[in-house]
Amino acid sequence: MKINKIREMSSPELEKELSELKTELFKLRFSLATNGLDNPMKIKEVRRDIAKINTVIKERELKENK
């Protein structure tokens, strides 16, 4: 997911996307532990997307506090 696309999203959309990505990460880790993944790099991509969303959320919080 591109950072520009994330910045265009509203705060409720970001929260929803964050929860969906965390659920997806859980499922990926679970399937990796049980039977293996076709693409283990997917875990890395999801973790990076979660970090990007958290960064944008934190930026908005800091902007509001100023």
Structural domain boundaries in the chain: 3-65
pLDDT at 1 exceeding the cut of 90: no
How far apart (Å, rounded) are the C-alpha atoms in residues 51 and 33? Answer: 23
Q: Which of 57, 58, 61, 53 is nearest to 17 (CA)?
A: 53
pTM, two decimals, is 0.91
The string of pLDDT tens digits covering residues 16-64 is 999 999 999 999 999 999 988 889 999 999 999 999 999 999 999 999 9
Please give the structure tokens belonging to residue 33. Answer: 């532990």
How far apart (Å, rounded) are the C-alpha atoms in residues 42 and 50? Answer: 12
CATH number for 3-65 (one of 1.10.287.310, 3.40.30.10, 2.60.120.10, 2.40.50.220): it is: 1.10.287.310
How far apart (Å, rounded) are the C-alpha atoms in residues 38 and 49? Answer: 20
